[in-house]
Amino acid sequence: GYEQIKSWLNSKLADRLSNVDASKIEPPPLHIAGPVIMKMAFAKDVEYLKELYASLLATSMLDGTVHLAHPSFAHAIEQLSPDEANILAQIWKFLVKNDNFELSFTYSEYYDPHEMSVEKQFSQLVMDAGAEFPDQSDSYMDNLIRLRLLEFNRHSAVEHRSIGELQYTHPSESVVSQSTFESLALSAYGKQFVLCCCVGSGDT
């Protein structure tokens, strides 16, 4: 098992670092390399998880990115399913084009019934990621929140609208209306994890 993992990892690291100036490559810190190599032995048949471990190790070997390689990331990868690893790779692709990742929805008296809730938007993301078990999207979301990679927020607001405004828009409505805003976004920890461990994931 170990020799097979070592051969795969050496090949993957050589590929990941092939365009990097050799002077900028350092041996990985032991507190990163040790857990990664040990835990990879239990994921040797799971390509998506191996990709995350390899990216974590490669990140820790570059003097410009070693600060992104948090020691706990290896333990987080260990607690991911292959589908969840693929979902995070999908989020990384979103980050390439945007500064952050967030799904949001507002419930109010006037919300558009065609808008999708946060849960439905995440379910669509799971399907877009090509998950093997898309019906498990709620569990996947819960686990990514538990690991603090994603964070779910909900808050309510009361809006006071003037009588003059209402008589032209919704003359039969009350002056006070309440809305609830929900969002699912990468936490600061989660964004660092994705930038460190998901670079290039899903491209192989």
- Total domain count, the chain: 2
Domain that holds residue 147: 96-188
Q: Are residues 100 and 145 in the same domain?
A: yes
Report yes or no on 198 lying in a domain: no
Which of the four pLDDT bands, split at 50, 70 and 90, describes residue 54?
A: very high
Which of the four pLDDT bands, split at 50, 70 and 90, describes residue 120?
A: very high
What integer is the mean pLDDT of 37-65?
A: 93
Q: Are residues 67 and 101 in the same domain?
A: no
What integer is the mean pLDDT of 171-182?
A: 68
Report yes or no on 90 lying in a domain: no
What integer is the mean pLDDT of 167-190?
A: 75
Contact 162, 62 (CB under 8 A): no
Q: What is the pLDDT of residues 121-175, one digit of tens each?
A: 999 999 999 999 999 999 999 999 999 999 999 888 776 555 555 455 555 555 5
Percent of the chain exceeding pLDDT 70 equals 84
Q: Which of 10, 44, 78 is the last residue of a domain?
A: 78
Q: Are residues 74 and 104 in the same domain?
A: no
Q: Are residues 74 and 100 in the same domain?
A: no
More confident residue, 66 or 180: 66
Q: What is the pLDDT of residues 16-42, one digit of tens each?
A: 898 999 999 999 999 999 999 999 989
Report yes or no on 167 lying in a domain: yes
Q: Are residues 112 and 50 in the same domain?
A: no
Which of the four pLDDT bands, split at 50, 70 and 90, describes residue 204?
A: very low
Q: Are residues 167 and 109 in the same domain?
A: yes
Q: Are residues 74 and 153 in the same domain?
A: no
pLDDT value at position 75?
Answer: 97
Report yes or no on 142 lying in a domain: yes
Q: Are residues 27 and 104 in the same domain?
A: no
Q: Are residues 110 and 39 in the same domain?
A: no
Report yes or no on 127 lying in a domain: yes
The Cα 135–Cα 56 span in angstroms is: 29
β-pairing, 102-107 vs 150-160, is unpaired
More confident residue, 146 or 98: 146
Q: Are residues 127 and 69 in the same domain?
A: no
pLDDT value at position 164?
Answer: 54
Q: Are residues 101 and 136 in the same domain?
A: yes
pLDDT value at position 66?
Answer: 95
The Cα 95–Cα 117 span in angstroms is: 21
Q: Are residues 71 and 111 in the same domain?
A: no
pTM of the model: 0.83
Report yes or no on 165 lying in a domain: yes
Report yes or no on 196 lying in a domain: no
